[in-house]
Structure 1
Amino acid sequence: MTSNKILIVDDAKTIRQQVNFTLVKAGFEVIEAVDGVDGIAKLKENKDIKAIISDINMPNMDGFQMVASIKGDSSLAQPPILILTTEGANDMILKAKQAGASGWIVKPFKPEILVEAVKKLIG
């Protein structure tokens, strides 16, 4: 069986729990990280991650920095990255895409929108 492991990177525990619940209910396996540094560590530990869902505003390493670090390190797996943020401004979306993100969802989100976006990302 192929992996359907998704990495959630967000400093807000409630958001991680909400995303986790939504994705597990849809049949995904979920790994959680509290910031970009933790996210990269989890990616290194789990080579079979199919997609990353990340917040932008986090301590230690924000989502933009994490995306750029992952995309700039060929030794890391390169799963698609979905930005999950409260900021829907065009400049933030452009910055996320320039860093290497595959897409974005603005919080609050509907569970079915999140599941559909993840399914599209991983094909």
Structure 2
Amino acid sequence: MKTIFLVDDSATILLSISAVLSKAGYSVEKAANAEAALAKFNAGVKIDLLITDLNMPGMNGIELIREVRKLAPYKFVPILFLTTESQQSRKLEAKAAGASGWIVKPSTADELLNTIKLVFH
């Protein structure tokens, strides 16, 4: 079973996306902000994919991606960027930081799962 780590400051998003992922057969790790996520990374959490929000209090998603990419065990873990912004500049900034792709919110369960399948294959 693949493990997906979801980072979002919205409890509603964490609940809804983790429900979709669990129902699809994935194990889900969650954090409500980048700092909590980094603490789990530093503790050695084992994941197959990171999905992070952009706009969060404190460290934003792009800063989180940069920090995760500095950690040897996670250098090549796929990262999807979850954002309400569709600005090309933000997507390019996320890609430069190490994101593998992005999902624009709101997305349907099918869009989310199809994007994840693309990352895993």
TM-score, length-scaled by structure 2:
0.92
Q: Separation in 2 of the partners of 1:62 and 1:111?
A: 24
Segments of 5+ residues of structure 1 without an aligned counterpart are none
Please tell me the residue identity of whatever aligns with 1:111.
A
Q: CA deviation at 1:34?
A: 0.9
**Residue 72 of structure 1 pairs with residue 40 of structure 2:** no
TM-superposed deviation, 1:40 = 1.6
What is the number of residues matched between the two proteins? 120
The correspondence for 1:87, drawn from 67, 85, 88, is: 85
Identity of aligned residues (%): 37
Secondary structure at the aligned position of 1:49 is classed as coil
Counterpart of 1:104 (choices 102, 105, 108) is: 102
- The residue that corresponds to 1:50 in the other structure is 48
SS of equivalent to 1:31 = strand
Name 1:121's counterpart in structure 2.
119
**Are 2:17 and 1:19 equivalent residues in the alignment?**
yes
Contact kept? 1:56, 1:64, Cα under 8 Å: yes
State the match for 1:9 in structure 2: 7
CA apart distance, 1:72: 2.1
Shift in Å, 1:46: 4.6
* Distance of 1:109 and 1:32 partners within structure 2: 19
Matches of 2:13 and 2:42 in 1, distance apart? 23
The 3 A distance-change label for structure 1 pair 121 and 46 is farther
Q: How does 1:24-35 map to 2 (within 5 A)?
A: 24-35=22-33
Q: Which moved more, 1:78-87 or 1:45-54?
A: 45-54
